[in-house]
A and B are shown apart, each in its own frame.
Chain A
């Protein structure tokens, strides 16, 4: 095996390991995105967007003053 072939093989192996690492990002649970999704669903289920929420209501009143 010539020197350059060996280098190429090593490069491919290193690259493959690297790629696996990159793909792993996708397998980790996206906690922030899940929290956002949960909030959107909770808004809907508890009807918090149509100022049913006392917190939102208070904020709006505060802004009006």
Chain B
């Protein structure tokens, strides 16, 4: 009976300490060189993207990417540049979601990280920007 009790206590303590560990992980690791570099590149690109969001040429898609919504407001000569900008942004976003999942030891979290970001990009978009919901594009 004493063995049983000792085991019970040991398991209980272990369980509590593990729960404590899980609890202590209130933050995800985002301070890695790879994540910082992506963040900085995206921040610099934002100077070019912000007017596009404002004009409605580019919108925030529901899959955590940015998408050309209405290219007609962009002069024909600049559309190639616009597409390159979008492609670069989406490549960085994909890498960001992947790196966050990896930095936290769970590469399989990538899709969930993407979903979380998609939701927050849309929720935090400035008024006047176009965002994609389940029913299509809407202007905030």
Q: Which A residues touch B106, using CB under 8 A? A: 27, 29
Chain A binding surface SS class: helix
Residues of B within 8 Å of A, CB-based: how many? 37
Decide if A15 touches B42 in the complex (CB within 8 Å). no
**Given that A40-B30, A47-B43 are known contacts, is A7 also in contact with B113, CB under 8 Å in the complex?**
no
Chain B binding surface SS class: helix
Decide if A22 touches B15 in the complex (CB within 8 Å). yes
Q: Which of B19-27, B69-77, B79-87 contacts A (4 or more CB under 8 A)?
A: B19-27
* Chain B min CB distance to A9 (Å): 10
Decide if A8 touches B39 in the complex (CB within 8 Å). no
Q: Which A residues touch B14, using CB under 8 A? A: 19, 22
> Which residue of B has the minimal Cβ distance to A7?
B4
Q: Mark A1-44, 1 if CB is under 8 A from B, else 0.
A: 00010011001101100110011011101111111111111101
Decide if A44 touches B39 in the complex (CB within 8 Å). yes
Q: Chain A interface residue count: which class?
A: 35 or more
Decide if A44 touches B21 in the complex (CB within 8 Å). no
Decide if A54 touches B7 in the complex (CB within 8 Å). no
Bound state CA distance, A23 and B137, in angstroms?
41
Decide if A11 touches B116 in the complex (CB within 8 Å). no
Of the candidates A26, A31, A34, A54, the one having the most CB atoms from chain B within 10 angstroms of its own CB is A34
Decide if B3 touches A33 in the complex (CB within 8 Å). no
Q: Which B residues touch A15, using CB under 8 A? A: 7-8, 10-11
Decide if B7 touches A33 in the complex (CB within 8 Å). no
